A and B are shown apart, each in its own frame.
Chain A
Amino acid sequence: MDKEFKHFEFHGNAKEYFRIWIVNIALTILTFGIYSAWAKVRTNRYMYANTYLNGSNFEYNADPVRILIGRIIVVTFYILFIIFGQHLMMFEVAAGIAVFAFLAMPWLIRQAVSFKLRNTSYRHVPFRYVGRTRDFYAFFLTHGLLNIFTLFLAFPFSYVRFKELILRNSRYGQGEFNFKGKVQSIYEIYFSIIGWMMLVTIALGIVMALVSGIALESSGVGLENIASSGMLGDESANADDVAPMVTGLVSILMIFIYLPLLFAQKGLSDAYFSNYVRNHTSLETAPFRGEINIFKLAWISVSNVFAIIFSLGLLYPWSQIRYLKYKLEHTSFACQDYEQFESFGYEQGSTVGEEMMDFFDIDIGL
């Protein structure tokens, strides 16, 4: 039995997605945010439906009305928290809301995982999640305490356990997912990321030193040019107007040092961890493979940010498609029989967990 790996394919394109994206934003504005639930469904439908494996595409089946209800619940709680905490100064009530949210967290995270899976289908067979709520409470209690007492040095260990909790309880039809991770490898990944980031920081430091040297040499004029070419808008940099120039230099430094570092690190980490998880996951006996080039993904991540900034956000859809396409097309899967999976039917469930993750921009990373 030789295993034939097939690459995922992504057929979405930036031109099409730009229109969907901008119409989503405009309609969300015109409907005071209500359309955002439909916008989310359209965006996800577009991404899923353009993802192909072995010639068939994926489906996103979430119901926008239920998403809207989830959003309203989350936003209401958040607004109540802000009103009580920051404006009415009724800290007991605000603390009560915070404690309630904190206690509900493991349950909500489980819900979010389950939501993502059961609303995804492939060949009209949905994914499912069978993990139990009590396992989430056990996980967050033990690993929360463990990481507090070890100052997060045990994080790689928790990472592996969390991936196990998620993947081993994921199903496609009757098919069970498997994940076998080694804690040691996760430590190695962290060391690699730290190593690369140190190298990049030193390299950037040298470049910046050279650049600022040249700028200083050509005296104040050079500095002014840098300041006025920044993002300060209508601030003009004349000689006795020191403040905007300082602000300008600070934002320039932030943009040219901090952002590349941050997004290089994001790309590197995503590549390392995505590869690792894919290479240690299988559906029954059918393995996945991750072939993402870490430098390529880091480059995409950094250049995307600059594309977004210099296009004032207009290249955001392009950057999203570019990133996703690269990741998907460097992931493959080897399955002998795509027709063997039996559906357990579609189920509905609460959307609150998913919407909370969405609202606070928490990525559980499936």
Chain B
Amino acid sequence: MIIEALLYDGKSSKEHEVSIEFTANRRVVILSHDIDVSLDEVEIESRLGNTPRVIEFENGIRCKSKENDKLDQVLKEFGLSKSKAYKIESSLGLTIGSVLVTIGFIWFMLTTGATYTSNALASILPKSTLDKVSDISMGQLEDNYLHPSKLSDRQKRIIQGHFDALTEGEAGYKLHFRSSPQIGPNAFALPSGDVVLTDQLVALSQDDEFRDILGVLAHEKGHVVKKHSLRIAIKTGISGAIIGYITGDVSVLASTIPTVLINSSYSREFEHEADVYAVKELNEMNVSTEYISKLFEMLDKKYGNDNNSSDIMGMFASHPLTSERIDYFKSYIK
């Protein structure tokens, strides 16, 4: 088999047109340049689209040929296989497979993958790290938004009792009573297990025994158990990295769009997960979900039209209360 090529001697930029002969006894011959070597001493570059392929000789001589199909045939005849990457690229099925692998991976990382990754990360990260991070955010909140609670001792005692029952046998949970006119009626949890409850929320309670507040606390515990803050951080990071990698230079998109897109829809998913967790806990403690649904209705009536979006992961921060959530709790009233 004879292949037309351009030859460069590696000493200068001179170009020579040559014919390379691949003989039956596995030798590569270029008559015009006195080359007659064994096929094993020649390196033929893997095929890449239809770019001229480099055939490299041991003495630094390099030939380039555009006759890709002929070269593939030579390689096949001598039992040297095509490059694996080219095999995938040139097969329609495997290209479509690659598209599916990519889409599947992105989808997985944005859904269940984030859960696995955050669980894995959470088990690697020492507890002290989570605590330190939480300490810092708690400190910032204390400085800017939180004031000492004005609840009566009786109120505190009952709610603390609920909290202790809820977290019995589990270390790390701590309830903080605080007043915060800025944040308003709300409750939120830090990854360390610190739960903050505002006086303003307690004031809306319609149950002497504060069983509605117990529901709220169970919801907050759900955020901690399901590691929501870590998962949000991971999802934002991953989607940024994916968009950045695939779109290359579109670096703005990588940093802005995911946060915009994720924060509205994902926090909704997390709120629901925490609600599911709360219902489970309330059932185990034999407390009706009626109380928390009433509290929600009350909040909806009073604040339903306000869109108080706050940065912290609060019970009611990320979106207005929807009737769906009230219905969800109501559906579990026995």
Interface residues of A (CB under 8 A from B): 11-12, 16-17, 19-20, 22-23, 25-27, 29-30, 38, 42, 45-46, 49-50, 56-57, 59, 87-89, 122-125, 173, 231-235, 240-244, 246-247, 250-251, 254, 258-259, 262, 305, 308-309, 313, 316, 320, 338-343, 361
- The complex places the Cα of A89 from the Cα of B85 at a distance, in Å, of 43
In-complex Cβ contact of A341 among B13, B94, B252 (8 A): B13
Q: Are B51 and A338 in contact (CB under 8 A)?
A: no
Contacts of B90 in A (CB 8 A): 19
Partner among B14, B89, B98, B260 whose Cβ is within 8 Å of the Cβ of A25: B98
The smallest beta-carbon distance between B54 and chain A, in angstroms, is: 7
The segment from B3-11, B34-42, B147-155, B204-212 found at the interface with A is B3-11
Report yes or no: B51 in contact with A339, Cβ–Cβ below 8 A. Answer: no
B309 at the interface (CB under 8 A from A): yes
B264 contacts chain A at the CB level, 8 A cutoff: yes
Against A, the Cβ 8 Å flags (1 = close, 0 = not) of B241-284 are 00111111111110011001101110000000000000000000
Q: Is the CB of A316 within 8 A of B52?
A: no
Q: Please, which residue of chain A has its CB at the minimum distance from the CB of B90?
A: A19
Question: Which residues on A sit within 8 Å (CB–CB) of B101?
Answer: 26, 29-30
Take A23-B95, A232-B265 as given contacts and tell me if A338 and B13 are in contact as well, using a CB distance cutoff of 8 Å: yes
> Could you say which of A42, A247, A338 contacts B264, with CB atoms under 8 Å apart?
A247
Most-contacted residue by chain B among A19, A242, A361 (CB, 10 A): A19
B62 to chain A: which residues have CB within 8 Å?
Answer: 124
| Interface magnitude class on chain B | 35 or more
A237 to chain B, nearest CB (A): 11
Knowing A125-B12, A234-B265, A316-B246, the reply to whether A42 touches B98 (Cβ < 8 A) is no
A182 to B12, CA, bound (A): 34
Q: How far is the CA of A305 from the CA of B263 in the complex (A)?
A: 23
Measured between C-beta atoms, what is the minimum distance from A297 to chain B in Å? Answer: 14
Determine whether the beta carbon of B54 is less than 8 Å from that of A38.
Answer: no
In the complex the two chains form, is A231's CB within 8 Å of B257's CB? yes
B88 at the interface (CB under 8 A from A): yes
> Assuming the A-B contacts A26-B98, A29-B105, A308-B247, are A16 and B49 also in contact, with contact meaning beta carbons closer than 8 angstroms in the complex?
yes
- Do residues A313 and B105 form an inter-chain contact, with CB atoms below 8 A? no
Contacts A45-B51, A339-B14, A339-B15 aside, 4 further interface pairs with beta carbons under 8 A come to A16-B50, A26-B99, A87-B125, A124-B10
Choose among A23, A50, A246, A320 the residue with the greatest number of B CB atoms under 10 Å from its CB.
A23
Minimum Cβ distance to chain B for residue A153 (Å): 26
Centre residue among A23, A49, A50, A124 by max chain B CB count within 10 A? A124
Determine the main DSSP class of A at the interface with B.
helix
Residues of chain A lying within 8 A (CB to CB) of residue B99: 22, 26
| Residue of A27, A46, A87 most packed against chain B (CB within 10 A) | A87
Give Cα A309–Cα B253 distance, bound, in whole angstroms. Answer: 9
Q: Are B12 and A343 in contact (CB under 8 A)?
A: yes
Q: Show 7 residue pairs from A and B whose CB-CB distance is below 8 angstroms, ordered by the A residue.
A: A19-B89, A22-B99, A23-B98, A42-B48, A124-B10, A233-B265, A241-B320
Q: Is the CB of B320 within 8 A of A242?
A: yes
Q: Cβ of B49 and Cβ of A123 under 8 Å apart? A: no
Interface of chain B residues 82 through 124 with chain A (CB within 8 A): 85, 88-90, 94-95, 97-99, 101-102, 105
Question: Is B132 interfacial (CB-CB < 8 Å)?
Answer: yes
Whether the Cβ atoms of B12 and A342 lie closer than 8 Å is yes
Expressed in whole angstroms, the Cα–Cα distance for A340 and B319 within the complex equals 71
Which of B's residues lie within 8 Å of A, judged by CB?
Answer: 6, 8-15, 48-52, 54, 62, 64, 85, 88-90, 94-95, 97-99, 101-102, 105, 125, 129, 132-133, 243-253, 256-257, 260-261, 263-265, 307, 309, 319-320, 322
Q: How far is the CA of A243 from the CA of B86 in the complex (A)?
A: 49
Interface centre among B95, B99, B102, by most chain A C-beta atoms within 10 angstroms, is B102
Q: What's the Cα separation between A233 and B15 when bound, in Å?
A: 57
Q: How far is the CA of A56 from the CA of B13 in the complex (A)?
A: 10
Once bound together, how far apart are the Cα atoms of A17 and B307, in whole Å?
Answer: 47
Given A16-B50, A59-B54, A309-B253, also A23-B261 (CB < 8 A): no
Assembled-state Cα–Cα distance A38/B48 (Å): 12
Contacts of A122 in B (CB 8 A): 13
Q: Are A45 and B12 in contact (CB under 8 A)?
A: no
Chain A residue nearest to B88 (CB atoms) is: A23
Query: Whole-angstrom distance from the CB of A14 to the nearest CB of chain B?
Result: 11
Report yes or no: A247 in contact with B260, Cβ–Cβ below 8 A.
yes
Please tell me if the beta carbons of B13 and A361 are within 8 angstroms of each other in the complex. no
B264 lies within 8 A of A259 (CB): no
Q: Contacts of B249 on A, CB cut-off 8 Å?
A: 361
A22 touches B260 (CB 8 A): no
Closest A residue by C-beta to B103: A312
Question: Given A16-B49, A242-B320, does the pair A341, B250 have CB atoms closer than 8 Å?
Answer: no
Q: Which chain B residues lie closer than 8 Å to A262 at the CB level?
A: 252
Task: Report the nearest A residue to B136, measured CB to CB.
Answer: A89
A309 to B101: give the CA distance in the assembly, Å: 20
B48 and A46 within 8 A (CB) = yes
B255 to chain A, nearest CB (A): 11
A324 CB to closest chain B CB (Å) equals 12
CB pair B256 A254 closer than 8 Å? yes
Q: Are B95 and A316 in contact (CB under 8 A)?
A: no
Q: Which chain A residue lies CB-closest to B95?
A: A19
How many angstroms between the C-alpha atoms of A12 and B48 in the bound complex? 11
CB neighbours (8 Å) of A361 from chain B are 244, 249, 251
Chain A contacts for B253, CB-based, 8 A: 259, 309
B36 to chain A, nearest CB (A): 21
Provide the bound-state CA to CA distance between A165 and B307, in Å: 56
Using CB atoms, name the residue of chain B closest to A173: B13
Q: Is the CB of B102 within 8 A of A22?
A: yes
Query: In the complex where A19-B95, A26-B97, A29-B102 touch, is A233 in contact with B13 (Cβ < 8 A)?
Result: no
Asked whether B13 lies within 8 Å of A251 as measured between CB atoms, the reply is no
The CA of A89 and the CA of B128, in the complex, are separated in Å by: 11
Q: Of A22, A124, A173, A232, which contacts B98 at CB under 8 A?
A: A22
CB-nearest residue of chain B to A47: B51
Question: What residues of chain A lie closer than 8 Å to B243, measured between beta carbons?
Answer: 313
- Residue B48 contacts which of A49, A123, A125 (CB distance < 8 angstroms)? A49
